[in-house]
């Protein structure tokens, strides 16, 4: 069977004749991914945990035995979510050229013949299928999400979450199988020397068949290939990082459409969902309802402004990767809890005037309610909140994912023990 591949199989594999290919180049890309991908995986899982899945409000809600160990997402440092989410999205994007380059470097393996030599080889190829399919799936769904191309509705979260576990499992298997070969390949030629070599010396034939049997003449050196891939990553980084910076830098975030030109003035920062899109109109007679176990009060904006005001500088970090740092003024959530006789709330349930939409309510943990910087914000940067930013009142809590910083708040229920 070995000697009789189907017509063309050997021919196809033989077509990939770049003299650059070989264990060394594959291992350089592999080492970069080995350093970067665990960070993308970990920050991704942390982002899921930041949504307080213990309240059933993370997407997807029920993940069966793939549940993460439950813990309360901290409120300190206040930039925690900004960093985990920003890293997840930015690093995920920056690594795309490296992923593609590594796939290019192992293309001949896809035409391995015979396809099933032994059980071990079948299992390995299966894990490669999950590895390659998994990462392309995660890149595709992730990119579509930050472009607001919700082609698949909110199943994005479900797909991306389970896709992450499939990919992670395949990644762990792959690293366990290949790490020794990666190390020995990297040792076979020092990086520094290779970077100083403008010409190509094909690597010696390798057991994996990455090195072509009949190498073509080179059109680019290994140094050139690495520079090209690294340059593309730097370019992507430059077009992405602006989303986490305020001011003019935001305009450079060409890959992330949200709020590149957020407007001028105190309310000139990105809007996730405008009041018009949320179907919220100015409500003159607006009153906030605050409820505790056996007390309820309603407050107008003037009454809220007459309470003790607190000013904090806190970020909004969105799941799509953008973030912004602003100065908020309003009433502490724990003061509102005390007002209805709840000194030690276990959670708070916040609802918006917005009728529909997945983000019209949120449950906050005890530590998030009790933090002295957690506000029902009425003003931002010294001005009244604009309607798009949640006027008459919105939630702002340190390190809380933006999606739970509910805008146009209508009522808050502080819960304890049995009714939590």
Ligand X SMILES: Nc1nc2c(c(=O)[nH]1)N[C@H]1C(S)=C(S)[C@@H](COP(=O)(O)O)O[C@H]1N2
Query: Which residues are near Mo ion by CB under 5 A?
Result: 272, 318, 402-403
Rounded to 5 degrees, φ, ψ at 51 are -85, 10
Please report whether residue 271 would count as binding ligand X according to CB under 6 A.
yes
Is the Cβ of residue 160 or residue 222 nearer to ligand X in the bound state? Answer: 160
Residue 291 Cβ vs Mo ion, minimum distance, rounded to whole Å: 27
- CA neighbor of 86 nearest in space, from 414, 412, 402: 402
Please report whether residue 406 would count as binding ligand X according to CB under 6 A.
yes
Token pair belonging to 126: 């299966």
- CA neighbor of 229 nearest in space, from 41, 137, 102: 102
Is the Cβ of residue 272 or residue 352 nearer to Mo ion in the bound state? Answer: 272
Of these, 27, 272, 347, 368, which contacts ligand X (CB under 6 A)?
272
Token pair belonging to 330: 């309003």
Q: Which stretch binds ligand X (CB under 6 A): 11-19, 154-162, 211-219, 266-274?
A: 266-274
Please report whether residue 376 would count as binding ligand X according to CB under 6 A.
no
Of these, 405, 410, 412, 413, which contacts ligand X (CB under 6 A)?
405
Q: CA distances (Å), 382 to each of 263, 268, 311, 322, 378, in order?
A: 16, 12, 9, 23, 10
Tracing tokens 């797909």 back to the chain, one arrives at: 159
Token pair belonging to 376: 């029902």
Is the Cβ of residue 210 or residue 397 nearer to ligand X in the bound state? Answer: 397
Please report whether residue 403 would count as binding ligand X according to CB under 6 A.
yes
Contact indicator for 89, 320 with CB cutoff of 8 Å: yes
Please report whether residue 243 would count as binding ligand X according to CB under 6 A.
no
x/- map, 339-358, ligand X, by CB under 6 A:
-------------x-x--x-
Contact indicator for 288, 332 with CB cutoff of 8 Å: no
Q: Which does 354 bind (CB under 5 to 8 A by kind): ligand X, Mo ion, none?
A: ligand X
**Largest Cα–Cα separation, the chain:** 87
Token pair belonging to 405: 């910083």
Contact indicator for 26, 160 with CB cutoff of 8 Å: no
Please report whether residue 393 would count as binding ligand X according to CB under 6 A.
no
Counted residue by residue, the chain has a size of 420
Of these, 94, 106, 253, 318, which contacts ligand X (CB under 6 A)?
318
Is the Cβ of residue 182 or residue 378 nearer to ligand X in the bound state? Answer: 378
* C-alpha–C-alpha distance, residues 180 and 34, integer Å: 13
Token pair belonging to 186: 């990297």
Residue 318 Cβ vs Mo ion, minimum distance, rounded to whole Å: 3
Of these, 125, 223, 273, 310, which contacts ligand X (CB under 6 A)?
273
x/- map, 76-115, ligand X, by CB under 6 A:
----------------------------------------
């Amino acid at each position: 069977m070995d000697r009789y591949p189907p017509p063309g199989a050997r021919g196809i594999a033989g077509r990939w004749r770049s003299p650059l290919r070989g264990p060394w180049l594959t291992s350089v890309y592999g080492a970069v991914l080995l350093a970067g991908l665990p960070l993308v995986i970990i920050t991704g899982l942390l982002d899921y945990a930041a949504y307080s899945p213990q309240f059933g409000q993370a997407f997807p809600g029920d993940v069966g035995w793939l549940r993460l160990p439950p813990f309360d997402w901290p409120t300190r440092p206040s930039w925690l979510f900004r960093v985990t989410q920003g890293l997840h999205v930015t690093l995920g994007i920056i690594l795309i050229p490296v992923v593609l380059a590594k796939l290019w470097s192992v293309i001949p393996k896809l035409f391995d013949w015979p396809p099933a030599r032994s059980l071990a080889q079948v299992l390995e190829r299966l894990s490669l299928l999950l590895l390659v399919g998994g990462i392309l799936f995660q890149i595709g769904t992730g990119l579509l999400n930050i472009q607001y191309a919700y082609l698949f509705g909110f199943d994005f979260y479900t797909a991306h979450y389970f896709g992450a576990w499939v990919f992670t499992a395949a990644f762990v298997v792959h690293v366990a199988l290949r790490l020794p070969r990666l190390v020995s390949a990297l040792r076979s030629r020092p990086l520094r020397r290779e970077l100083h070599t403008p010409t190509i010396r094909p690597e010696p034939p390798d057991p994996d068949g990455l090195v072509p049997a009949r190498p073509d003449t080179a059109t680019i050196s290994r140094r050139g290939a690495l520079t090209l891939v690294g340059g593309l990553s730097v370019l992507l980084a430059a077009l992405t990082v602006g989303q986490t910076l305020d001011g003019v830098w935001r305009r450079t975030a060409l890959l992330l459409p949200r709020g590149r030109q957020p407007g001028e003035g105190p309310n000139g920062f990105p809007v996730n969902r405008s009041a018009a899109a949320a179907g919220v109109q100015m409500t003159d007679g607006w009153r906030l309802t605050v409820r505790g176990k056996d007390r309820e009060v309603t407050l107008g904006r003037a009454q809220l402004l007459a309470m003790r005001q607190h000013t904090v500088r806190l970020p909004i970090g969105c799941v799509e990767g953008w973030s912004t740092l602003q100065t908020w003024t309003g009433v502490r959530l724990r003061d509102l809890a005390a007002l209805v006789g709840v000194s030690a709330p276990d959670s708070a349930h916040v609802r918006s005037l917005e009728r529909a939409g997945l983000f019209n309510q949120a449950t906050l943990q005890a530590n998030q309610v009790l933090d002295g910087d957690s506000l029902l914000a009425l003003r931002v940067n010294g001005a009244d909140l604009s309607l798009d930013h949640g006027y008459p009142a919105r939630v702002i809590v340190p390190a809380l994912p933006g999606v739970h910083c509910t805008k146009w708040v209508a009522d808050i229920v502080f819960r304890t023990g049995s009714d939590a």
